[in-house]
Structure 1
Amino acid sequence: MSLSVPTMAAIRFGYGLRPGEASVQNKDALLAQLPAALQSPVAFPVGGLDERRAAISDLQQQLRDLRQSEDDDQERREHRKLLQRQAQARFQQDANARLLQAVLSPYGFHERLATFWTNHFSTSANKSLPMRLLVPAYEAEAIRPHIAGHFSDLLRSATEHPAMLIYLDQAQSLGPDSRGGMQQKKGLNENLGRELLELHTLGAGSGYTQADVRAAAMVLTGLTIDRRDMDAMFRPGISEPGPHKVLGISYGGPKRTERDYLSLLDELAANPKTALHICRKLVVHFISDDPPDGMISVMTDAWRKTDGNLTAVYTAMLAHPAAWDNPGSKARQPFDYVVAGLRALNAGPDDGNVGRFLKANQGSREDLGMAAKNGDASSPNVGGDATMMGEAGKALRDRKAIQTARALGQGALRRMGQPTWLPPSPAGFEESFGAWITASQLAERLRWARRATAQFGQGFDPREFLKATLADAARDDTIRIVGQAPNKISGLMLTLASPEFNRR
């Protein structure tokens, strides 16, 4: 079965079709999204990057004050719990904003690339309390600005960000023979050196050795964070002195500088095995779990000719005939599925009905608790006063709306196994078809489809919805089943539960 280019562009290379949104007509239109998206504001971190940096500094100061406090243990525990709730509330807002960014953006290909690279350079907000505030900023300032440029710039930006340095314990790595290492009696942490070679550049099985991992970790010593401002810095006093060979190339000398690790990053970015590893991952993400060798070869040639210009690599991928063959080869991961479902239901002008609802109901746990308290009609404060009863009813409706928004957004992603910015390991989330198309996964998606269509499906005709959502990707048996649904909501739900909608 072959599909039209607009349908394939939306489903395979974007987050699906939205009613009323102009479809992408060709590969050039996909590529045109990259510079256009860079001119559009990023919805997270909420409040902007300057405000977030100030919030991170304030949190660090409060944590320092807490450690030095003379309050009793109970007071310190309560204070820390308050800081945890505040950080979690910010994180929840950011995660909601990231979901909305994908739902509302007209630049689906750019959003998919942002998801791919954030997963490639994985960090987790669960690492520490400050990471709740740092990880959303990491995607916004370290990943997104560089996904259409040269890989070397993206690699450097991701590696040097404090979120990466904290996540992979680079902030704790000291050269064993450095002045700081000997004074503190602490030594090397190899995490960043290992993941730099295994995940971020060359790839597993590419020929590097444990000696290369250790040498890379030595070269990276000195790269750490300023814990007051939570920013990256280089401290010569903790960098391991002397030269260190990685893949036969020597870095450093008697006096170490940041130029040593930057040279290592540049050499790894230029390594042909890095090009092969990254190009293969791109094809696995977008096209097939079994990527065609010819396509990878064309992409690595583009990488070599342009010194790793990622737009040139994407262009080579999209220009290859295999990019438009075998529709449905990949599974929509949970984030893909939820975003595509919300986009399909998001009729109306501007933000649409879904966008308006989710924006209005991005409540935190504190909001839910307050709504529950205010909405308790048995409360003595409510009594028989009609005004108070009306306020209680509104609070109850607000609570239900917040619960619905959470259930259709972050709650659904957690249940489906892909919570925002919380990957299971530095390797990120799985890409394979079998990881996401399972009986339990499909059952969870069916529950989500039932709730989403009940919330947003009023006014849709199932047959028209199917046509608008899947276009020529809809199979004859799906068209027949949706047309025979006992009611409109069931027809909409069957569309979102169909095999075609769960694949890309």
Structure 2
Amino acid sequence: MALARPTLAAIRYGYGLRPGQDSPSDADGLMTQLAKGIAAKDRFPREGIVGRRETATRVISLRAAESKAAREGKPNESIRKETQREAQRIYRLDAMSRLAQAVHSPFGFYERLGSFWMDHFSTSALKSLPMRMIVPLYETEAIRPRMAGSFADLLKAAILHPAMLIYLDQDQSVGPDSRVAQESGRGLNENLGRELLELHTLGAGSGYTQEDVRAAALILTGLTVDNRALEMVYRPRRAQGGAITLLGREYQDDEAGSQDHMRMLEDLAADPRTAAHICRKLAAHFISDEPPADMTEVMVASWKASNGNLGEVYRAMLEHPLAWENPGQKIKQPFEFIVSGFRALNLPDDNMAALLADMEGDDDDVGPVGKAMQMAGTAKSAEQRRKRAGQANALTLGALQKMGQPIWQPPSPAGIPDKSDAWLTPGQLSERIDWSRRAARLLGQKLEPADFLQVALADAATPETRKIISQAPSKLHGLTMVLASPEFNRR
């Protein structure tokens, strides 16, 4: 089924159609979205990059002081609980801000690429309490500004950010022959070296060996995190000295060891296997689980001709004829599904903040859930505030948790599953139908099913789905079936 290009662009390369927002119809329009998105200011971290660094280092310092006091037999439970509450509150604010940005942004291709690269360079807010504040910072300062430039620059920014070093335990790794190892008995941690080769650059099955994994880990020794400044630092006392051979190339600490890791990252970024791995992964994410070989070949050729310029790689994908054919090959991940649902429902911008107010039981700023309850004649009470909070959470962060994609919490360094069969399960479909019913009841009171179908899917709606919606026994059932339809859940 052929679709109008603006429809396909919004669904395949963005987060779906939204009333009042125009969709591009070609590669130039999508690349313009990317450029404008990079130039705009992200909504998270809530206090900005500088403010977040100040907040995070303050909380980290308080936690460190409390831990030291506890070891000395003088624990301060109130400090520990307060920092836990603050970190969780900050995480929730940031997660809702990220959700709101995806819902309301007119730069859908930029938003989708932000999710793609955060998944490629996965880190988790669950690693530790400070990571709840650091991971949003990582996305805004390391990933998003570099998504249209050199892959080498993106790779270095991602791998050397404190979030990645903490997540993969690089801050615990020391060279086996280093001075710190001799004094402390600590040793090498291969986590970052392994994921660097397997996930971030060459790809699994590309011919590297366990010896290469160890070599990459050895070259990375010396890198750790300064928690006071929340920055990556190089500590020579932790580094493995001497020559190290990786993939047949020797890395010698000819500059006191402080540049070996940079040269390694640049070499890995330039490796043809990296180009093949990344290009196929991009096409598999946007086009189909098994992307057309001729499309990935064109993308790899563009990578080589531009020395890994990601903007040129995206353009090669978008200008390929198959980029605009055969819609519906991918199943939306839960985040995409919920964002596209809110977009179709045309949730006002201020209502996302009000949903957070509902979640926190704030009667001073009643959101869409609270308004729905008021319309139903529900009296205010502590019990109703709790109910309102539960409903708001069930529409947003709680729904993502139940569907298997909580924000900034991938299940492993490999990220969120991107294959259709991961999301085509009875449990997943049941959760989506429940969400669709809840969203329709609370947010779709003024909509008619036939009109909503046109807004949500335009010409992507099949005659079969149009017939089903027209025969719906009630308005709520019709609205629910639009969101639960096969076309709405595919892209």
Task: Tell me the TM-score normalised to structure 1 length.
Answer: 0.91
Please tell me whether residue 130 in structure 1 is matched to residue 130 in structure 2.
Answer: yes
Long gaps (5+) in structure 1: 347-351, 372-391
Instruction: Report the alpha carbon displacement of residue 20 of structure 1 after superposing the two structures with TM.
Output: 1.5
Structure 2 counterpart of 1:359: 353
The 3 A distance-change label for structure 1 pair 363 and 242 is farther
Instruction: Report the alpha carbon displacement of residue 212 of structure 1 after superposing the two structures with TM.
Output: 0.5
Please tell me whether residue 488 in structure 1 is matched to residue 475 in structure 2.
Answer: yes
Moved more, 77-86 or 396-405: 396-405
Post-superposition Cα deviations, 1:101-158, rounded to whole Å, max 9, x if no partner, equal 1000000111000000000000001111110110010111110001111100000000
Structure 1 counterpart of 2:105: 105
- In structure 1, the residue corresponding to 2:124 is in which secondary structure? coil
Q: Which amino acid aligns with 1:361?
A: L
- In structure 1, the residue corresponding to 2:45 is in which secondary structure? coil
Partners of 1:182 and 1:364 in 2: CA distance: 55
Instruction: Report the alpha carbon displacement of residue 396 of structure 1 after superposing the two structures with TM.
Output: 6.0
The 3 A distance-change label for structure 1 pair 463 and 187 is same
- In structure 2, the residue corresponding to 1:420 is in which secondary structure? coil
The 3 A distance-change label for structure 1 pair 364 and 489 is closer
Q: Which amino acid aligns with 2:46?
A: V
Partners of 1:364 and 1:216 in 2: CA distance: 48
Long gaps (5+) in structure 2: 364-378
Moved more, 180-189 or 410-419: 180-189
- In structure 1, the residue corresponding to 2:25 is in which secondary structure? coil
Partners of 1:502 and 1:94 in 2: CA distance: 26
- In structure 2, the residue corresponding to 1:361 is in which secondary structure? helix
Structure 1 counterpart of 2:265: 265
Please tell me whether residue 456 in structure 1 is matched to residue 431 in structure 2.
Answer: no
- Contact between 1:92 and 1:364, CA under 8 Å: does it hold in 2? no
Post-superposition Cα deviations, 1:199-254, rounded to whole Å, max 9, x if no partner, equal 00000000000111101111100111112222111111111000111101111236
Partners of 1:331 and 1:147 in 2: CA distance: 24
Structure 1 counterpart of 2:376: none
- Contact between 1:332 and 1:503, CA under 8 Å: does it hold in 2? yes
Count the aligned residue pairs: 477
Instruction: Report the alpha carbon displacement of residue 69 of structure 1 after superposing the two structures with TM.
Output: 2.1
Alignment of 1:27-426 (within 5 A): 27-69=27-69, 76-253=76-253, 256-346=256-346, 352-353=347-348, 355-363=349-357, 367-368=360-361, 393=380, 399-426=386-413
Percent of paired sites with the same residue? 51
Q: Which amino acid aligns with 1:64?
A: A
- Contact between 2:38 and 2:110, CA under 8 Å: does it hold in 1? no
Partners of 2:128 and 2:227 in 1: CA distance: 13
Partners of 2:320 and 2:268 in 1: CA distance: 27
- 1:428 aligns with one of 399, 410, 415: 415
- Contact between 1:242 and 1:256, CA under 8 Å: does it hold in 2? no
Structure 2 counterpart of 1:479: 466
Q: Which amino acid aligns with 2:155?
A: L
Instruction: Report the alpha carbon displacement of residue 159 of structure 1 after superposing the two structures with TM.
Output: 0.5
Partners of 1:70 and 1:425 in 2: CA distance: 32
- In structure 1, the residue corresponding to 2:263 is in which secondary structure? helix
Partners of 1:104 and 1:14 in 2: CA distance: 11
- Contact between 2:358 and 2:392, CA under 8 Å: does it hold in 1? no
- In structure 2, the residue corresponding to 1:224 is in which secondary structure? strand
The 3 A distance-change label for structure 1 pair 288 and 85 is same
Pairwise CA RMSD of aligned residues? 1.9
- In structure 2, the residue corresponding to 1:469 is in which secondary structure? helix
Partners of 2:117 and 2:132 in 1: CA distance: 19
- Contact between 1:239 and 1:256, CA under 8 Å: does it hold in 2? no
- Contact between 1:146 and 1:153, CA under 8 Å: does it hold in 2? yes
Structure 1 counterpart of 2:367: none
Partners of 2:255 and 2:152 in 1: CA distance: 25
Post-superposition Cα deviations, 1:5-41, rounded to whole Å, max 9, x if no partner, equal 1111011111000012112222210111111112211
- In structure 2, the residue corresponding to 1:69 is in which secondary structure? helix
- In structure 1, the residue corresponding to 2:259 is in which secondary structure? helix
Moved more, 250-259 or 130-139: 250-259
Instruction: Report the alpha carbon displacement of residue 361 of structure 1 after superposing the two structures with TM.
Output: 2.9
- 1:469 aligns with one of 425, 449, 456: 456
Task: Tell me the TM-score normalised to structure 2 length.
Answer: 0.94
Partners of 1:257 and 1:233 in 2: CA distance: 13
Q: Which amino acid aligns with 1:360?
A: A
